[in-house]
Amino acid sequence: MKKNIVITASMSLGFLYIIAQTQKPAKKTTDNPAASIERGQAVYQKECLSCHQMDGGGVPHMNPPLAGSTDVLKDEKKIIGIVLNGMTDRLPLDDEYYSNNMASHSYLTNQQIADVLTYVRNSFGNKADAVTVAEVKAVRTPKKSK
């Protein structure tokens, strides 16, 4: 009798082990910041590099620098809005004016925008929190007032 119980228990544990090994891992709800930065670098090189340059230094009096910019490091909602909607206003950035308009990049996915902004906020000497897909989505589709 004991032998049958031991064999049954061993087989059950073996089946559970096999099932556990073949199941897909649960999808993580939070993204790895390093992965986001890596994806963001690819988006930056394709979409942003020509104006903001490889080093994030921008072009004097034309395209603002992203390196050390207080606007890049402050409120995520503002820079998300600029990426989504572009910018034609001539506003000072760190006491300097830039004359080139920024085109809308609303065609980028929420993930791409979160990744590229996470990359920018953590490159060129910058250090700031990651931008999440949820934050981009909230700016892209603001809540309707009742």
Does residue 121 sit in helix, strand or coil? Answer: helix
Look at residue 11 in the predicted model and tell me its pLDDT. Answer: 52
List per-block mean pLDDT (blocks of 10 residues) for the chain, which spans 146 residues: 55 49 43 92 98 96 93 93 93 87 97 98 97 97 70
Claim: this prediction has a pTM higher than 0.85: no
| Cα–chain center distance at 106 | 15
Nearest by Cα to 119 from 33, 49, 37: 37
Domains of the chain: 32-140 (1.10.760.10)
Cα separations in angstroms, 24 against 5, 36, 146? 31, 22, 43
Q: What are phi and psi of 41, to 5 degrees?
A: -60, -40
Which residue type does 96 have?
E
